[in-house]
Amino acid sequence: MGATTVAKAAGPGQAPGRLRLPFNKGAMSNALMAGPMVLLMLAGYVLPGLLMLSVSLGGSLGSWPFQSPIEFGQYQKIFASSYYWGVMGFTLLVSIGVAVLNAFLAYPVALFLARSRSRWNGLCFLITFTPLAVGMNMLTMGWLVMLGKNGVINAVIQGLGISQEPLPLIYGLGAVVAGLAHISFTFMVLPLESVLRGVNPTLELASRSLGASRWKTFLTVTLPLSWEGLAAGMLIVFMQSCGAFVIPLLLGGSSTIMLPVSIWEQMTVANDRASGAALAMMLTFVAMVALVLQLRYFNVLKEPSKT
């Protein structure tokens, strides 16, 4: 236990007692251990974010933040452009769609991993975590091979006689959604499996013993108890999809421009770094709003009823 502050009351004609300052070795050691991570966050996230915000407000790239007069012209141009509103809306719709799709795909897998004692459990774990080991670039190349005109899927379709010509499977919305769902699937399974493993199976058995069907037991017992993990996974997938660059760039076409690709175009092709920085700040704002809403929603759910 750390030392506590002690102060002696001085009586008439007596010198005041010494005041011992508190010192907690545990708190000091925790602060020292957290120091490197705090410095990394400041250097890797906070400072670049301030620099990007400064550039979006009229500052020059590479200078100290907010040395130039603040201008909002880039934001006014973006808000007045229907093209950027379309890109933002498309990015949000695709990200939400990928999150919902992954929720449906990952829930049975997470439930199997949390409850099953099958010999196939290890293989299922291996397949689930493969995207993390392979990486986004290799997965994107794999989808290019699978969906190309001379790819595996078109070869199977033509071999079965379903179509004589190769189908346009790549460079479209379907390819982007498939790639994003694949790369973020693991991040949907992880929080779900962790929460489902903590749900007591006897609660489901009690529901079944009282006459509830499997489907009703799932809707009234399993799903509500695992909702926090489901929402956390959907938030992670949503943020990953909003910030994805390689998959929309390589698998999407001219009609599937997402916000990170638009930022890259402004920074490199158009050489308009101020507009690119403003779009990047808008993307950051969307991600932070999603995070705050998710945390606020679950804080409300966790509050005990006052009635």
Q: What is the mean pLDDT of each run of 10 residues along the chain (307 residues)?
A: 46 52 63 77 78 77 65 84 90 93 93 84 82 81 85 84 81 89 91 89 87 88 88 90 89 84 88 86 88 72 47
Instruction: Please tell me whether residue 164 adopts helix, strand or coil conformation.
Output: coil
Distance separating alpha carbons of residues 1 and 286, to the nearest angstrom: 44
* pLDDT of amino acid 12: 52
Which residues share a beta bridge with 3?
23
Residues in the chain: 307
Statement: the pTM of the whole predicted model exceeds 0.95: no
* pLDDT of amino acid 93: 94
Which residues share a beta bridge with 23?
3
Q: Give CA separation, 154 vs 56, 158, 167, 239, 243, in Å.
A: 45, 6, 6, 32, 30
Count other Cβ atoms within 10 Å, centred on residue 14.
9
Count other Cβ atoms within 10 Å, centred on residue 274.
21
* pLDDT of amino acid 27: 67
List, as one string, the DSSP characters of 12-70.
TT-PPPP-PPPB-HHHHHHHHHHHHHHHHHIIIIIHHHHHHHHHHTTPPTTSPTT-SPP
